Structure 1
Amino acid sequence: METPTDRAYENSAYIPDADAFTHRWAAAARAFRADARRRLDVAYGLGPRERYDLFLPEGAPRGLVAFIHGGYWMAFDKSSWSHLAAGPLAHGLAVMVPSYPLCPQVRVGAIVTAVGAAIDHAAETVAGPIVVCGHSAGGHLAARMGCRDAPLTEGVAARVARIVSVSGIHDLRPLLTTRMNETLGLDLAEARRESPVLADPADVDLVTWVGDGERPQLRRQSRLLSMIWEGLARSVRHVEAPDRHHFDVVEDLADPASALTRALL
């Protein structure tokens, strides 16, 4: 039976023509890959989903952006998001977009570890500061990379300058009572361990970005992280983007001039 918490974290049912977004993203990403300077399917581990795509700007990169996709830790892969590299690329940043293993084949904690391994691997290729950006569940994974216990090598962790969580989920405990947890398999100990709101932030800048038309719990999750990390992280900024919902809010990364793209810089 559906619970109020299920409804609170359901996005598609509250967005008109929601299915059209996934088809549009896949087509835009496919077209972008055809023309971009790229290295596709770079292995960072042994698993079939432990691969990333790396997009390179003209000239030497000024740094690296890691974009982590969402899908509630259960869906999607790197292939639907390539076009979102366009904004950072225009500013001279390389962009890495990884796939990662999904629940229920692995636990959320293992996904966190995989994302850290992907960033470590890409950082061997691209020098300079690192910005970790993610959307939805990817926002959670991005925020975990800004914690002091992030699964990054010491040298790479020191290069992480900024975390940009777009519509991120930063407290996993409410998900324990949702139907999706039948797939996620979270228990209270893991939910606490993997919640960025309960972790110590590293010396990073944090940007939490959420659409003003999103579900109330998603807006609360973004405010919560910014409030808790305020005074602990190097700097904190919280933005509620006007006229954006959970799906279209992240599309602004494809625009080099957008406010969201500028937030990465």
Structure 2
Amino acid sequence: MRDWDDAYANSAHIPGSEKMPALWTERAAAYRAGLKDFRADITYGSGERQRLDLVLPDGDSKGLVVFVHGGYWMRFDKSTWTDLAEGARHHGWAVALPSYTLAPAARISDMTGEITTAIAKAASLVPGPIRLAGHSAGGHLVTRMLCDDSRLEPAVFNRIAGTLSISGLHDLRPLLKTKMNDTLRMTMEEASLESAALQLPRGHSPVTAWVGGGERPEFIRQSDLLANVWTGFDVPTHLVIEPALNHFTVIDGLKDPSSQITARLIGLD
């Protein structure tokens, strides 16, 4: 029988991973300190974690990027990842980074609703096209925005020009077999409803599933699954497997204005 806990155990297979959260937090704080226009803790709801940060470019914005962080729906917040905004910000895009209520205080379906509201709030602050991006659990949350049960209002949904799911989770049913579900508390019904790969897409904006070639095989499978299934519904999908990168290094390119992943995020490729 397959060890599903090991299938999703990224940190256990990345040497030095225990030191990374502190490093991410330090880098993000240093980046914020150097920004000319940074707006912190914009409320999009009454919950303690229903806040987003907004990184603004020099001059007028070309549009809005919303980046949703990962952490298996149980860890981290917006302040850990601010520096990932630099690639898009350099090219003239505003970048919103929302926090959201984590498990066990919230169910995954609740988080989907919170990110819906966060995107609507950010969209009210920045005009123009919207590009969504998310890492790991964040990849799940942004692809849920594109499903036929999406609660985004048409005026916001129709602005979405592209979505980038980085190491995203698109079929949550295997997670029912992991110890982390003691915290997530998913049922089979919720896992199925919250799986983008099991839902019909609402529109036809491009979707890229981006994953590192050095990741756990399950994350490569999950990325391939979404790209494969949604292609059948005439969604322009792409699967990009970036060689050698692992679950944590795969997002580093978002900090680089000249990287391939930044170009894909803002529609330059």
TM-score by length of 2: 0.96
Cross-structure match for 2:6 = 7
Deviations 1:164-220 (A, max 9, x none): 000000000000111000000000111111100011112210000000000010100
* Per-residue deviation, 1:242: 1.1
Cross-structure match for 2:29 = 30
* Per-residue deviation, 1:233: 4.6
Matching residue's letter, 1:26: T
Distance 2:235 2:63 in 1: 19
* Per-residue deviation, 1:234: 3.6
* Per-residue deviation, 1:260: 0.6
Say which SS state the counterpart of residue 250 (structure 1) adopts: helix
Preserved CA contact (<8 Å) 1:205 1:233: no
Of all paired residues, the percent bearing the same amino acid is 47
Say which SS state the counterpart of residue 97 (structure 1) adopts: strand
After the TM superposition, list the runs of 4 or more consecutive aligned residues in structure 1 that deviate by more than 4 angstroms.
none
In the alignment of these two chains, the number of paired residues is: 264
Q: How does 1:87-236 map to 2 (within 5 A)?
A: 87-201=87-201, 202-236=203-237
* Per-residue deviation, 1:86: 0.2
Distance 1:250 1:143 in 2: 17
Deviations 1:35-59 (A, max 9, x none): 2111100000000000000000011
TM-score by length of 1: 0.97
Preserved CA contact (<8 Å) 1:63 1:129: yes
Deviations 1:46-75 (A, max 9, x none): 000000000000111111000000000000
Say which SS state the counterpart of residue 169 (structure 1) adopts: coil
The gaps in structure 2 that reach 5 residues or longer are none
Please say if 1:240 is aligned against 2:241: yes
Cross-structure match for 1:20 = 19
Distance 1:149 1:140 in 2: 14
Preserved CA contact (<8 Å) 1:63 1:93: yes
How big is the alpha-carbon RMSD for the aligned residues of Structure 1 and Structure 2?
A: 1.2
Cross-structure match for 1:55 = 55
Distance 2:82 2:45 in 1: 20
Distance 1:226 1:21 in 2: 30
Return closer, same or farther for 1:244/1:149 CA change in 2, 3 Å cut-off: same
Distance 2:224 2:89 in 1: 29
Distance 1:203 1:130 in 2: 14
Deviations 1:75-134 (A, max 9, x none): 000010000000000111100000000011110000000001000001001011111100
Say which SS state the counterpart of residue 123 (structure 1) adopts: helix
